[in-house]
Amino acid sequence: MSNPFEVSERKSVPPAEAFALLGNELRVSILLELGDAKEGNQPRPLPFEELRRRCDVSDSGRFNYHLQELLGVFVTEKSEGYGLLYPGVILYQAIKADSFTDRTTVEPFPVDSACSACGADLEATYRNSMLVVRCGDCEALAFKYHLPPGAIRSNDPDAVLRAASVYARRDLVTVASDVCPTCASEMYHDVVPEDEKSTDLEHAMPGPAVVHHCSYCKNFFSTDLPEVLVYHPDVLPFVAANAPHLLTDLLWTADACDPDAISVTRRDPLRVSVPLDADGERLTVTVDRSLDVVETERH
Ligand SMILES: [Zn+2]
Ligand SMILES: [Zn+2]
């Protein structure tokens, strides 16, 4: 039987070659001009002469040399003119968003929530593109995730915290469906019971953690088990119907489940039961070591 999904060609440009192309100011300005060129909201291809004028280069031979170097990797040529290929678009957006160049640091600022461990006030910091929320008193970690510097452009701390929560939640939704939020390849999970957690799994919440990893782009991070489980396709409908606030509250305030109520019901193979209570209803979700839901029981 023939496979209806067939990749006609798998090829890639060596990374060092692609990045070496960018070590030139004119080439970067070609990418920026092509990205800036719009017709309404649509990208507008730029004819050679217009692109050269926009880059402010009088030597057409020198300009053409640099433009040709980018062709096929970051730039494409069509009958109407030059435009960006997908890698060019990603690069353009990364440059515009200051992803490689921002060094913003924000000193600890107050967060309007209490530490789940000791009840003291939480505070947040932003450093190396990482937003961290922890207890100002016992230092328990409540939230830690990378956040692009665009979120910090707002001088409103509540807006920054909201953006961090929304941004991380978007990735939780993706990860819970086994898709890597960075490269869209398959995401794998390791459920780690409380007593198997190593010290490098830094989590404020007691109870099982989950390590998520992508074998393609090597993306890697960990969450608490209930935190990601509420977005699992087998669980999300229950949560949306009975506890919708878990899907909208700031992540460090949304407690899906008392960690003490989570139980390891079997060791080999591992089975972990997580009771989710909402609105007088209970859904007990049992997962295996790879975060597959093996059983759900409604009470
Ligand atoms: Zn605390
Ligand atoms: Zn990936």
Give me the helix-helix angle, 25-36 and 60-70, nearest 10°. Answer: 80
Pick the ligand that lies closest to the CA of residue 205.
1
Q: How far is the CA of 277 from the centre of ligand 1 (A)?
A: 25
Q: How far is the CA of 78 from the centre of ligand 2 (A)?
A: 31
Is the preceding omega at residue 269 within 30 degrees of 0, hence cis?
Answer: yes
- C-alpha dist (Å) from residue 1 to 4, 5, 294: 9, 12, 32
Pick the ligand that lies closest to the CA of residue 219.
2
The model's pTM is: 0.86
Count of alpha carbons within 13 angstroms of residue 241, beta-carbon side: 10
Pick the ligand that lies closest to the CA of residue 220.
2
Q: How far is the CA of 152 from the centre of ligand 2 (A)?
A: 25
Pairing mode of beta strands 263-266, 220-224: unpaired
Q: What percent of the chain is predicted at pLDDT more than 70?
A: 97
pLDDT at 258: 87
Kindly state the average pLDDT of the residues 182-207: 84
Q: How far is the CA of 121 from the centre of ligand 1 (A)?
A: 7
| Residue 80, C-beta contacts closer than 8 angstroms, at least 6 positions apart | 45, 47
Q: Which helix (H) or strand (E) holds 87?
A: helix 86-96
- Find out whether 53 and 37 touch, Cβ atoms under 8 Å: no
Q: How far is the CA of 120 from the centre of ligand 1 (A)?
A: 5
Q: How far is the CA of 186 from the centre of ligand 2 (A)?
A: 7
**Tens-digit pLDDT profile for residues 103-156:** 899 999 999 999 988 999 999 999 999 999 999 999 889 999 999 999 998 889
Give 13's pLDDT tier (boundaries 50, 70, 90).
Answer: confident
Q: How far is the CA of 143 from the centre of ligand 1 (A)?
A: 13
Residue 159 has which token pair?
């807006």
Q: How far is the CA of 257 from the centre of ligand 2 (A)?
A: 29
Q: How far is the CA of 171 from the centre of ligand 2 (A)?
A: 12
Q: What percent of the chain is predicted at pLDDT more than 90?
A: 80
Q: How far is the CA of 148 from the centre of ligand 1 (A)?
A: 27
Residue 229 has which token pair?
């489980």
Q: How far apart are CA 63 and CA 53, in angstroms?
A: 10
Q: How far is the CA of 203 from the centre of ligand 2 (A)?
A: 23
Contacts from 242-247 at CB under 8 Å and sequence distance 24+?
Answer: 242/278, 242/279, 242/281, 242/283, 243/276, 243/278, 243/279, 246/278, 247/169
Going from the N-terminus, what domains does the chain have, and what CATH number goes with each? 15-96 (1.10.10.10)
Pick the ligand that lies closest to the CA of residue 134.
1
Q: How far is the CA of 142 from the centre of ligand 1 (A)?
A: 9
Residue 116 has which token pair?
């789940």
Q: How far is the CA of 213 from the centre of ligand 2 (A)?
A: 8
3-class state of residue 204 by DSSP? coil
For the ranges 19-28, 84-93, 201-210, the lowest mean pLDDT is seen at: 201-210
Pick the ligand that lies closest to the CA of residue 121.
1
pLDDT at 205: 66
For the ranges 82-86, 96-100, 161-165, the lowest mean pLDDT is seen at: 96-100
- Find out whether 134 and 145 touch, Cβ atoms under 8 Å: no
Query: Nearest CA to 55 among 67, 68, 72, 44?
Result: 67
pLDDT at 267: 94
Return the number of other C-beta atoms located less than 10 Å from residue 95's C-beta: 16
Q: How far is the CA of 216 from the centre of ligand 2 (A)?
A: 5
